[in-house]
Structure 1
Amino acid sequence: MPKTITEQHERKIAQMVRNWPVEHALDWNAVCIGAQVILAWETPPTRQALDKKIVIKVAYKNKKEQLKLEKQNLSGMPRPRSTLDAMKKITRLQMENDALKAELTKMAEVANRLIYNATISGLTRERLMAPLPTIHEPQVTLENSRR
């Protein structure tokens, strides 16, 4: 009886590829070995067998592209000169992050107060959440500019 890869297997293998850890290289050989565990086969499936499955192929291509972009982004980042510089930068960024979180909390409190007061004044939630009106600038024509 030939071995088959079911749709459920395809989804599980594609999910494995999507969750592939960054610290491990992604290649078809590694995917085949990982798929062997999911399929519970004695031998790993071939690269060609997995490549024929569209779901797996798309997940592999997308993850490969994502890893490539992450690598490019990391290579463009400036490196700290020393561990002390890195620690100072981390501390500064953590303080900035904490300040922004506190500011966001205050803004949320103000928004809640405004929504509450508007609601008890008779405005509905739909009215409060209505989009802002668009302002149409009058078009200047040659005739209008002579007046």
Structure 2
Amino acid sequence: MPKTITVLHEKKIAQMIRHWPDGHALDWNAICIGAQDVLEWDKPPTRQALDKKPSIKVAYKARKEQIKAEHRKQSGMPKPRSTLEAMKRISRLQEENDLLRTELSKMAEVANRLIYNATIAGLSRERLMAPLPTIHEPSPRQYT
């Protein structure tokens, strides 16, 4: 009696593919070997047997595209030439981040002060949050 891949097996294999680790190559041979553990078979299933299952095929294509997109994203990032350069860059970015957090905190304090003082002066919250008026600049033809 030939072995069959059940719907439950199909779902487990598709889930295995969706959670495939980034550091490992995603190819059909590796999937077949991984599917052998899921199926609890003595031998791995063939690529053709797995490729016939739509959910496995879709999971493979989606994960493959996700890995490619991540690779494109990482290849566009500038890479430091040395560990020291990377450490300096991290340090600089952390300092910049701290500076921006401090600036944001000061701006929030000013905004709260303005809202508080405006409320005391009798302006409602709706009036304070009203959009700015649009300014219609005259066209150049109006000056001639």
Structure-1-length-normalised TM-score = 0.64
Q: 1:79 aligns to what?
A: 79
- Structure 1 residues 1-147: aligned runs within 5 Å: 1-97=1-97
**CA shift in 2, pair 1:89/1:51, >3 Å:** same
Unaligned runs of 5+ in 2: 112-129, 132-144
Unaligned runs of 5+ in 1: 111-131, 134-147
* Inter-partner Cα distance in structure 2 for 1:20 and 1:55: 15
Aligned residues: 112
* Cα distance, 1:78 vs structure 2: 1.1
* Cα distance, 1:81 vs structure 2: 2.7
Q: What is the root-mean-square deviation in Å for CA atoms of aligned residues?
A: 2.9
SS in 2 for 1:85: helix
* Cα distance, 1:83 vs structure 2: 1.5
* Inter-partner Cα distance in structure 2 for 1:41 and 1:101: 56
Q: Deviations over 1:35-68 (max 9, x none)?
A: 0000000000000110011110000001111111
Detail structure 1 runs of 4+ shifted over 2 Å in the superposition.
91-104
Bigger CA radius of gyration = 2
- Output the amino acid matched with 2:15: Q
59-68 or 69-78, which deviates more? 69-78
Identity of aligned residues (%): 67
* Inter-partner Cα distance in structure 2 for 1:20 and 1:92: 34
* Cα distance, 1:73 vs structure 2: 1.5
**CA shift in 2, pair 1:41/1:101, >3 Å:** farther
**CA shift in 2, pair 1:74/1:39, >3 Å:** same
* Inter-partner Cα distance in structure 1 for 2:12 and 2:98: 39
* Inter-partner Cα distance in structure 2 for 1:96 and 1:5: 54
- Output the amino acid matched with 2:34: G
**CA shift in 2, pair 1:80/1:48, >3 Å:** same
